């Protein structure tokens, strides 16, 4: 009996890994508004319920065990992504900048499993019908695209009002959950000493006290501290 349940555990865990790999390989646009784990959960739970209904050899206890194990796997995965910042890129994916300062980043486009026609379709869904209108475009982890338009094509359009404006800059995450995002810090041309000085201007002395910090060109660092009352 024990070997039987161990066999179910092995098969379910293997299915968890294989389905995760499959959904990652399919690309972000396959999921639309749902996350990869939502997609996997829907498949697994639907299969479990289907077995319970149509396969009379599958006992209720086995289904309960499988559902409980699946719930534990999902809970552990969510706990890991909440507590360990480095795990989020692997388990949840990360946004990809596919248009930067009006230029298409082909490598990022290829990484997101998109071609130009798909990118144009996603951008049109956001109300922009030409790539020339786009300053930045980001493919989010749920497969949707976020667009930051060029200043002349923003709403209301500055060209309509005869106003000349500078093109917008993209906000950059500098700290997430108390951890410095080193790659973003370096790409922006700064180091930890600069970041410390900016935090000290706001009377914050430790990175660990910061829930979220965002930098934008020609603007002060935007900082959200942890809610100490909640702790």
What average pLDDT is seen over the chain? Answer: 78
pLDDT tens digits for 17-60?
A: 655 665 565 555 444 555 566 667 667 766 765 565 556 566 65
Regarding pTM above 0.75, the answer is no
- Residue 97 near residue 138, CB atoms below 8 Å: yes
Residue whose C-alpha is closest to residue 103's, from 14, 172, 167: 167
Mean predicted confidence (pLDDT) in 104-133: 87
- Give dist(CA 45, CA 48) in Å, integer: 5
Residue matched to tokens 């360990």: 84
Burial class (CB in 10 A: 0-12, 13-18, 19+), 56: exposed
What does the block give as tokens for 204?
């914050």
Q: Select 172-225's CATH number: 3.40.50.150, 3.40.50.2300, 3.90.79.10, 3.30.240.20.
A: 3.30.240.20
**Residue limits of CATH 3.30.240.20 in the chain:** 96-153, 172-225
The winner for highest mean pLDDT among 38-52, 68-82, 84-98, 187-201 is 187-201
pLDDT tens digits for 165-223?
A: 777 788 899 998 889 999 999 989 999 999 999 999 999 999 999 988 999 988 899 99
Strands of the sheet containing 145-149, edge to edge, are 103-104, 96-100, 134-139, 145-149
- Residue 45 near residue 70, CB atoms below 8 Å: yes
Burial class (CB in 10 A: 0-12, 13-18, 19+), 143: buried
Q: Which CATH class is domain 96-153?
A: alpha beta
- Containing H/E element for 214? strand 210-215
């Amino acid at each position: 009996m024990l070997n039987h349940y161990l066999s179910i555990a092995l098969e379910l865990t293997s299915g968890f890994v294989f389905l995760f790999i499959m959904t990652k390989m399919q690309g972000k646009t396959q999921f639309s508004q749902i996350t990869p784990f939502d997609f996997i959960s829907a498949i697994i739970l639907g299969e479990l319920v289907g077995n319970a209904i149509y396969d009379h050899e599958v006992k209720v206890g086995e289904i309960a065990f499988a559902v409980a194990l699946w719930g534990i796997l999902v809970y552990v995965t969510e706990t890991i992504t909440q507590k360990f910042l480095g795990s989020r890129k692997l388990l949840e994916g990360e946004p990809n900048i596919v248009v930067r300062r009006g230029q298409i980043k082909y490598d990022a486009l290829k990484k997101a499993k998109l071609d130009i026609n798909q990118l144009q379709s996603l951008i049109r869904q956001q109300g922009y019908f030409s790539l020339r209108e786009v300053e930045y475009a980001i493919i989010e982890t749920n497969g949707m695209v976020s667009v930051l338009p060029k200043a002349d094509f923003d709403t209301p359009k500055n060209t309509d009002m005869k106003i000349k404006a500078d093109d917008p800059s993209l906000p950059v995450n500098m700290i997430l959950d108390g951890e410095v995002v080193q790659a973003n810090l370096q790409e922006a041309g700064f180091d930890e000493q600069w970041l410390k000085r900016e935090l000290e201007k706001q009377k914050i002395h430790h990175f660990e006290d910061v829930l979220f910090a965002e930098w934008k060109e020609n603007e002060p660092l935007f900082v959200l501290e942890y809610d100490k009352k909640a702790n």
